[in-house]
């Protein structure tokens, strides 16, 4: 199954992609994670994208598409995958269409207000990438990952300034993809404003796996 998880920042794409990936036995491919990993390692790619990602702007299409193309050529992606955070622009979607056939696009619908609340309290594990929220989904021990014991941190692009910019960028550049995939008749719309459990039930139904 080849899936795209589409939606604004903070909609829960990453959290749900992690769960669905385990459940369906297909890898979660997150462009955001790829960029953050490169920034952490201070690789050539990391140096190129650090400022862009920190501001909440989009990495140029050409660079992003070539990374995804490489990633999808890995053997673990042969049996399907979840794209989390890609495509994010019409040119990215068109480039993907040219070499892959998607089965479904899950659109995570949510209001700006809920998104801002979620992102402004989000914490991520430095080691395994698990996602928490200081109020809605706190770790058992403050600052420590329940899953692996790693250290939790706040993403630099989860500052209020960057969150506001990411939402604007989403509306301008990414939201048009909803119509793009609706026209292709592979769009599955879900309400992601509730709990991850509730969202998971909706995704299973939308994908016909309940």
Q: How many residues bind ligand ADP (CB under 6 A)?
A: 19
Task: Report d(CA 140, CA 59) in Å as an integer.
Answer: 35
Q: How is residue 173 annotated by DSSP?
A: I
Among 64, 192, 199, 202, binds ligand ADP (CB under 6 A): 64
Among 20, 38, 39, 58, binds ligand ADP (CB under 6 A): 58
DSSP assignment of 10-38, as one string? TSSHHHHHHHHHHHHT--EEEHHHHHHHH
For ligand ADP, give the closer residue by CB, 18 or 32: 32
Does residue 53 touch ligand ADP according to CB under 6 A?
yes
Given a contact cutoff of 8 angstroms between Cβ atoms, the answer to whether 117 and 198 are in contact is no
Residue 32 CB, nearest approach to ligand ADP (Å): 2
Task: Report d(CA 166, CA 158) in Å as an integer.
Answer: 9
Q: Which residue is nearest to ligand ADP (CB)?
A: 32
Binding residues (CB under 6 A) for ligand ADP: these are 9-10, 31-32, 35, 52-53, 56-59, 64, 85-88, 92, 157, 166
């Amino acid at each position: 199954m080849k899936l795209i998880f589409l939606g604004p920042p903070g909609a829960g794409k990453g959290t749900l992609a992690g769960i669905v990936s385990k459940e369906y036995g297909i890898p979660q491919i997150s462009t955001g994670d790829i960029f953050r990993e490169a920034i952490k390692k201070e690789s050539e790619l990391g140096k190129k994208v650090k400022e862009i990602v920190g501001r909440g702007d989009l990495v140029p299409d050409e660079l992003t598409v070539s990374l995804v193309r490489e990633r999808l050529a890995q053997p673990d992606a042969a049996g399907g995958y979840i794209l989390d955070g890609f495509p994010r622009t019409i040119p990215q979607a068109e480039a993907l269409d040219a070499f892959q056939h998607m089965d479904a696009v899950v659109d995570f619908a949510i209001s700006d207000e809920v998104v801002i609340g979620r992102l402004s309290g989000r914490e991520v594990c430095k080691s395994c990438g698990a996602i928490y929220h200081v109020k809605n989904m706190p770790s058992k021990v403050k600052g420590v990952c329940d899953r692996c014991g790693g250290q939790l941190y706040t993403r630099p692009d989860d500052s209020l300034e960057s969150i506001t910019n990411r939402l604007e960028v989403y509306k301008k550049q990414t939201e048009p993809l909803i119509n793009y995939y609706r026209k292709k008749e592979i769009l599955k719309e879900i309400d992601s404003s509730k709990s991850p459990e509730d969202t998971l039930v909706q995704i299973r139904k939308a994908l016909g796996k309940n």
